[in-house]
Amino acid sequence: MDEGAQDITELVKGIVLALVDEPDQAEVTSVYEGETIIVSIQVTPDDVGKIIGRQGRIIKSIRTLARAASSLGDGEQVEVEHRRAGGQLLG
């Protein structure tokens, strides 16, 4: 993982850890798929609502910030996905 992807992952991780009640159970990882950085957020079932927010506003904001951060670097495409603990993808 290059420095840009690591910076984006750390940005998302900082936001997520500030939002959840159980930060020790939260996990933020990233992988490359082609030229796209996939940032995955995994939290406990009780914290999922805090990450998604009302009508998805918080996760949309996290995605916007991650994409803005990537545009400052190499301009790589960024996708942010969120999962429940156990790996179930939540849209």
The separation between CA 2 and the C-alpha centre of its own chain, rounded to angstroms, equals 17
Query: HEC string of 20-85?
Result: CCCHHHCEEEEEEECCEEEEEEEECHHHHHHHHCHHHHHHHHHHHHHHHHHHHCCCCEEEEEEEEC
* Distance (Å, whole) CA 24 – CA 16: 11
What is the pLDDT, as a whole number, of residue 57? 94
The segments of the chain whose pLDDT lies below 50 read: none
**Amino acid in the structure at residue 38:** I
CB contact at 8 A, 63 and 80: yes
